[in-house]
């Protein structure tokens, strides 16, 4: 996991998104866009959203890490929740199932990402 150098207080105000709705799936081919705008703009918007989502999660994790004494445990919980919210995993990486902390963090991350999509 990369070191977290951003001050925690900056994580509460993400930069405003570019105009237009964020895309959930980038187009498979730049020439196949359904709108009259250029294809690279669509990819740029998706990339911008992913960058903002990742930055928001990084900031959330940095703040949360400060409040937990068991850093190794919470680091693993955050890693598992991040993979799930970004679509890289469907289940918890914890043997025996999802711990309660992960369920709470996963819900918070989904709300955070959802708020970025709504902007």
**Tens-binned pLDDT, residue by residue, of the chain (119 aa):** 444 444 444 444 444 444 444 444 333 333 333 344 444 446 777 778 888 889 999 999 999 999 889 999 999 999 999 999 988 999 999 999 999 999 999 999 999 999 988 77
> Collapsing DSSP states into helix, strand and coil, what is residue 1?
coil
**Residue 5 domain flag:** no
Count of C-beta atoms within a 10 Å radius of residue 39: 15
Residue 28, domain member (yes or no):
no
Do the domain assignments include residue 102? yes
Q: For the full predicted model, state whether its pTM sits above 0.75.
A: no
In a domain, 26, yes or no: no
Tokens, residue 34: 């359904």
Helix (H, G, I), strand (E, B) or coil at 20: coil
Domain assignment present for 16? no
- Is the residue at 4 inside a domain? no
- Domain of residue 48: give its range: 36-118
State how many domains the chain has. 1
């Amino acid at each position: 996991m990369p070191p977290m150098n951003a001050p925690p207080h900056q994580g509460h105000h993400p930069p405003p998104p570019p105009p237009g709705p964020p895309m959930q799936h980038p187009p498979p081919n730049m020439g196949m866009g359904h709108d009259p705008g250029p294809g690279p703009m669509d990819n740029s918007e998706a990339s911008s959203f992913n960058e903002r989502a990742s930055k928001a999660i990084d900031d959330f994790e940095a703040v949360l890490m400060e409040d937990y004494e068991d850093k190794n445990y919470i680091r693993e919980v955050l890693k598992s929740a991040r993979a799930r919210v970004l679509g890289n995993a469907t289940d918890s990486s914890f043997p025996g199932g999802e711990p309660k902390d992960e369920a709470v963090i996963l819900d918070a991350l989904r709300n955070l990402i959802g708020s970025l999509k709504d902007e």
